[in-house]
Structure 1
Amino acid sequence: MAEPLTRVVRRKEDVLFSTCAPLRPFPDVLLTHLQKWAQAAPSRAFLAERSAAGRWYELTYSAAMRWVDSVAELLVELNSAYGDRLLIISENSIAHGVVSLAAMSVGIAVVQISPSYLTTRTGLERVREICEVARPGYLFASPQALLAAAGPLPIGEAVGVSFDRVIALGPAGAGDRRDHATAELQMRRSALHGDSIAKIMFTSGTTGSPKGVINTHRMLCAQQQQMAQLWQFVEERPPVLCDWLPWSHTSGGNNSFNMTLRNGGTLYIDNGRPTLSGIELTLRNVAEVRPTWYTNVPAGYSLLLPMLQRSRLLTERFFSRLDLLVYGGAGLSPGLWAGIDELARSTRGTPAPWACGWGLTETASTTTVTHFPISGAGQIGVPLPGMTCRLTKRHGHYAIAVKGPNVTPGYFGDTDATARAFDDEGYFITGDSVSFVDEENPSRGLRFEGRFAEQFKLATGTWVQPSSIKASLLSRAGPLVRDVILEGPDGPYLVALIWINEEVAVRDFRWSESCEGNDQGSIALQEFLKMVIGEHNAGCVDNAERIVRACVLGIPPSLSSGELTEKGTIALHRFRTARRTQIESLFAAEYGFSIPQAAI
């Protein structure tokens, strides 16, 4: 890890915060990394996935380079042009990775969409909206995605890139082939530069409508150089990942995938998910791979922890060669942090190697990271080399805006949104709130305080900051609670909708179905949550922090309902729309449970 040395410039109305180390040179084009490792480590596995027989199939760097060249030539033969867009609708797979690299290598921008959007009419409408913005000329879709489609694909006049043809060009189907070096292919590649669009990534829509974020080759390459300068061990030992994070989102597609590629690592594609039905697959995969780098969202860790606690063998394999344990996408509860830390200490005698970062789709995934020991959840570290954060006081914390080589130039086809996204000094306005862990020692980094879009006023005119209230509740509830949604805009008081970890609830409270029931497990769960909220309320100084009524979500948020993003985080505006009746019933005292007045 690099030493955390930072620079702070205090101006009249704001603070400029940066890292002292300058950003070192990096390639302009993403394909450069694949070309490097195809020469330097040709037989090393780059991507791996489960075969139909259940065994791992590994694609080496040299085979990946040949396959990418073949698919790139196919795209050229389809009369594609520099600047066209290719829509990819596929689960994470080797073919998906190859096609995306091939397209980017000949100046075709990739637009990746989760296949789950094809399974519902609402999702198909989302695909239509994305296609209206991106106007893709070509489509690559996996057979599984097409079979699950709830209706015709609203893709306009996009030309299909045959899945079977792509597979036939791969190592298993092609045999010996000449190196593809057609004049057109080489001309297209020589025209690439740092400002060429590599991807158009649509935001998850957690707090608003999704927008098409331009990702240039320079952004993607800069971000990986920035990370490697702070997490230096990735250059000394190529990382091995076992990762499910979807490539249609920036964390999986730009961080996990590109970090593997930049550092000559191996990415085992985890076909599990952070769900009750998918976590068993994840555990099997992790136990076999024994990753050196593991990333998950807090919802995934909440399912992982109780299973690790049950199996000493699984825990030993999980930690056996782990260099870094990363979380992102949402706040990690102190209970989860402590639980996994305890397992690490008992297994290998050292703390869990936790790290965290913060960023957005507009910053190619990451803007700040912790590259030094941290003592608890919530810390997001210091700016990456080459980045400057502008911090402006607002509502008791700092509004953060950022500038650097990994920041998007704007939104595809939306000049108005692009203009609104930047301030008069060229800083990208993130909409997020942060604070210093220690104002006297900025090198201890920043703490994430939430999104301003999630803040709201009660009827009294008092501002509510949900992130600090959620952190208080999660720290008291431990791994039982996966997330808390606070409601009360223009209302008389706060109410809480609680998403629980069902496995922990069954194990510790013999809970079933919902806390509305009169069985002992439901009553015990209610009483525990009343105690948790009561302890929180006892430390509150005003009504803007106190919770008066609460309920447990009997039906948890799901991807199919649109309430969850592919990352497993709650899409707040969709959640509120879907749960409007439930929320209104809480305020009307027709649902849930009240918190004893004595606790307030």
Structure 2
Amino acid sequence: MTQIQPASFRDAPFREAQFMPVTLDVERRNDGTVILRSRVELGEYEPNLAQAFTKTAERCGAKPALAVRNSDENWEYTSYADLKHSVDAATQWLIDNVPRGGVMVMMISNGLTAATMTFAAYAAGVILCPVSTTFGLTGGDHVRLRHVLAKTRPDVIVLESNPKLAAAVVSCAGDDVAIITTDTQTVNRRAFSLSSVLATTPTSAVVKAIANIDPENTVSYMLTSGSTGLPKIVPQSMAATAACGQQALVAIGRAADWGGVIVDWLPWHHAAGASVLRSTLLQGGTLYVDDGKPLPGLFDQTIRNLREIPIAYFSNVPLGYSMLVEAMEQDPLLRRTFFSKMRLMLYGGAGLQQHVFDRLQEFAVAETGYRIHMTTGYGMTETVTGCMVIHYPTEQVGIGLPTPGLEVKLVPQDARFAVRLRGPNVMRGYLDEPEKNMEVFDEEGFYRTGDLAVFSDANNPEKGLVFAGRQSEEFKLSNGTWVYGGSLRAALLEALDPLVSEVVLCDDDREFLTLLAWPTAHASDQPLGTIVNRLRDFNRTQQGASAIIRRVALLDQPPNVDAQEISDKGTINRRAVIDGRHEIVSRLYAAEPDDGIGIV
């Protein structure tokens, strides 16, 4: 294909995409605290998610709601009418078998069953707790699974058909917990086949249950990532969940077009993935379930889907975009299909490397004559999902501005601001964590996120905020100096671009800093010395031992999912990498390091 020079693709106009206007209320206090609010109204919306889905299903009828590849690898479609019928059957079963306000843990992959049981739980007034199947498949004593089940005390567990998973759940769950699965033979306790649940005849009790929903009641128990320990459990009310969905719809909904065709892989047990499921099915879109993941060998499925299905909106983590660019280099059909309707690309979880961003835009301009809006946002399980977003044209990486209804409190901390949030989407507190809940809310009721930010332009707040570190990622060397891990990692990724895809800083309470790095395909024919030289150049721009890298090791094995080195959404767990690769870390700090260690 014709190579586009950087200047020419940057001169191209953006493809038209409708965003919420930037109109900001800025309150400045005498102590330096800044409060940001959008002047855009949140507007009216249906807080009863079950009622909202009922109305959408009635309106859409025969339109495909879900598309999932079957055993023959062909797309199998489920209409809104058929999905609503299954949801009503499962709702009736839950009404008959689980007390209102009871808990249903769901350990299944994205697909028709997960979508059905999610909306059935909403309708029946049963608290849904989606849990990753990895909690039961990683071996050991299943400490995370035991922790979650002990905390949530489920009445029923919906279980993927997998003997290993079934054995783990049976060993960890109480004897009185019922299990729904397609293969009851793998469960030696009270079990119900999924087919029998979906064969239940709905009665007027379903309509009554939906009408009697109190949106202020808890609708979901969502798990935090657990990157610094066991996951915390966040009760989310239906009102908060609906408010967050409305915030996204007002801010970027017209550009993202969840009422159209969506291809998505994010797991529904994660806050961001669950929001995609809700947004698409409540807006009347068609959700193609992507079985791919941004990991070597698993991303091929995503590429296959994107080659077939043109979409207007795409979301992935930076590693996924890096793999997408590599695939596009050799695949003109992928480029043509992907950009044919594309209006908005979103990334989250980490910073996007500049060469990936530039190459995507080069491809977009070559195919369409336009650049594509690329956005990112900011949020967490404690806020349901993203609640700040870049909703304006920009090429600068950042976390954007608050969506309607959200208040962002910025408290001065050194040259940065500690980020605190208050709004209709923010949690009331963690499940059974009274001491933690006393800590995480300030005297005005703002949630302390633990994150830090700065203004992109201190004189123009409308240009948004930029992420400036996470307090939990900041650690001390043995001499007591602080390492600002988040900002240092971002700077290193930029300095080593495009030779590495991800880095991990080592290690707390050591005399000096070292680095573990995953090389990219660009580094395949480059010696370790090339990266060492880049790091030497980087070090010359830094001041103090807390930002200078002394040694580096390249990792030849991808992040280990089973060891929790990488989350289901594709983000790296620094502590798990260091602990799981202690032999390499020991080599980094050896008195006489071997030839595989780069001395900077």
CA distance 1:220–1:237, shift in 2 (3 Å):
closer
Measured against aligned partners, the alpha-carbon deviations of 1:401-420 in whole angstroms (never above 9, x if no partner) come to 10001111111222222222
Q: Distance in 1 between matches of 2:418 and 2:144?
A: 31
Contact 2:105 2:130 (8 Å CA) reproduced = yes
Q: Distance in 2 between matches of 1:143 and 1:460?
A: 52
Q: 2:160 aligns with which of 114, 128, 142?
A: 142
Q: 1:309 aligns with which of 326, 329, 334?
A: 329
Q: How does 1:73-152 map to 2 (within 5 A)?
A: 73-78=92-97, 80-122=98-140, 124-144=142-162, 152=170
Q: CA deviation at 1:236?
A: 6.5
Could you tell me which residue of structure 2 aligns to residue 560 of structure 1?
562
Contact 1:534 1:595 (8 Å CA) reproduced = no
Larger mean CA deviation between 147-156 and 202-211 belongs to: 147-156
Contact 1:203 1:210 (8 Å CA) reproduced = yes
Q: How does 1:323-402 map to 2 (within 5 A)?
A: 323-377=343-397, 379-402=398-421
Could you tell me which residue of structure 2 aligns to residue 519 of structure 1?
none
Partner letter of residue 474 of structure 1? L
Larger mean CA deviation between 283-292 and 134-143 belongs to: 283-292
CA distance 1:309–1:366, shift in 2 (3 Å):
same
Q: How does 1:460-479 map to 2 (within 5 A)?
A: 460-479=479-498
Could you tell me which residue of structure 1 aligns to residue 15 of structure 2?
none
Q: Distance in 1 between matches of 2:231 and 2:332?
A: 43
Contact 1:143 1:163 (8 Å CA) reproduced = yes
Contact 1:85 1:108 (8 Å CA) reproduced = yes
CA distance 1:498–1:342, shift in 2 (3 Å):
same
Could you tell me which residue of structure 2 aligns to residue 418 of structure 1?
437
SS in 2 for 1:143: coil
* TM-score of the aligned structures, taking structure 2 as reference length: 0.90
Count of aligned pairs between the two proteins: 569
Could you tell me which residue of structure 2 aligns to residue 49 of structure 1?
68
CA distance 1:129–1:150, shift in 2 (3 Å):
closer
Q: 1:575 aligns with which of 564, 574, 577?
A: 577
Q: CA deviation at 1:472?
A: 2.1
Partner letter of residue 469 of structure 1? L
SS in 2 for 1:535: helix
Contact 1:42 1:60 (8 Å CA) reproduced = yes
Could you tell me which residue of structure 2 aligns to residue 590 of structure 1?
593
Q: Distance in 1 between matches of 2:20 and 2:598?
A: 50
Q: CA deviation at 1:234?
A: 5.3
Q: 1:166 aligns with which of 171, 194, 205?
A: 194
Q: Distance in 1 between matches of 2:230 and 2:367?
A: 44
Measured against aligned partners, the alpha-carbon deviations of 1:260-305 in whole angstroms (never above 9, x if no partner) come to 1232211111011111111111111111222222111112122221
Q: CA deviation at 1:575?
A: 2.3
Where structure 2 has 5 or more consecutive residues not aligned to the other structure, the ranges are 1-18, 184-192
Contact 1:37 1:264 (8 Å CA) reproduced = yes
Instruction: Say whether 1:536 aligns with 2:554.
Output: no
Q: How does 1:402-441 map to 2 (within 5 A)?
A: 402-441=421-460
CA distance 1:151–1:42, shift in 2 (3 Å):
closer
Q: CA deviation at 1:148?
A: 7.7
Could you tell me which residue of structure 1 aligns to residue 172 of structure 2?
154
Contact 1:207 1:454 (8 Å CA) reproduced = no
Q: Distance in 2 between matches of 1:327 and 1:420?
A: 30
Q: Distance in 1 between matches of 2:258 and 2:377?
A: 21
SS in 1 for 2:386: coil
Q: Distance in 2 between matches of 1:90 and 1:334?
A: 36
Q: CA deviation at 1:131?
A: 0.2
Larger mean CA deviation between 287-296 and 49-58 belongs to: 287-296
Q: CA deviation at 1:461?
A: 2.9
Q: Distance in 2 between matches of 1:418 and 1:26?
A: 29
Q: 1:213 aligns with which of 222, 234, 251?
A: 234
Q: Distance in 1 between matches of 2:296 and 2:253?
A: 35
Where structure 1 has 5 or more consecutive residues not aligned to the other structure, the ranges are 510-523
Q: Distance in 1 between matches of 2:74 and 2:171?
A: 33
* TM-score of the aligned structures, taking structure 1 as reference length: 0.90
Q: Distance in 1 between matches of 2:517 and 2:322?
A: 14
Instruction: Say whether 1:189 aligns with 2:210.
Output: yes
Q: Distance in 1 between matches of 2:483 and 2:220?
A: 37
Q: Distance in 1 between matches of 2:67 and 2:138?
A: 30
SS in 2 for 1:380: coil
CA distance 1:334–1:234, shift in 2 (3 Å):
closer
Larger mean CA deviation between 532-541 and 421-430 belongs to: 532-541
Q: Distance in 2 between matches of 1:53 and 1:322?
A: 29
Identity of aligned residues (%): 29
Q: CA deviation at 1:533?
A: 1.2
Partner letter of residue 71 of structure 2? A
Q: Distance in 2 between matches of 1:354 and 1:339?
A: 13
CA distance 1:147–1:201, shift in 2 (3 Å):
closer
Could you tell me which residue of structure 2 aligns to residue 527 of structure 1?
529
Q: Distance in 1 between matches of 2:527 and 2:366?
A: 29
Q: 1:293 aligns with which of 280, 295, 313?
A: 313
Could you tell me which residue of structure 1 aligns to residue 12 of structure 2?
none
Q: 1:36 aligns with which of 48, 55, 77?
A: 55
Measured against aligned partners, the alpha-carbon deviations of 1:226-274 in whole angstroms (never above 9, x if no partner) come to 1111114158672322111111111101x21122123221111101111
SS in 1 for 2:558: coil
Q: What RMSD over aligned residues (CA atoms) do the two structures have, in Å?
A: 2.1
Q: How does 1:437-448 map to 2 (within 5 A)?
A: 437-448=456-467
Q: CA deviation at 1:123?
A: 7.1
Measured against aligned partners, the alpha-carbon deviations of 1:6-32 in whole angstroms (never above 9, x if no partner) come to 111111231111111122122122112
Contact 1:242 1:294 (8 Å CA) reproduced = yes
Instruction: Say whether 1:319 aligns with 2:339.
Output: yes
Q: Distance in 2 between matches of 1:299 and 1:17?
A: 31
CA distance 1:372–1:169, shift in 2 (3 Å):
same
CA distance 1:270–1:456, shift in 2 (3 Å):
same
Could you tell me which residue of structure 2 aligns to residue 223 of structure 1?
244
Q: CA deviation at 1:147?
A: 6.1
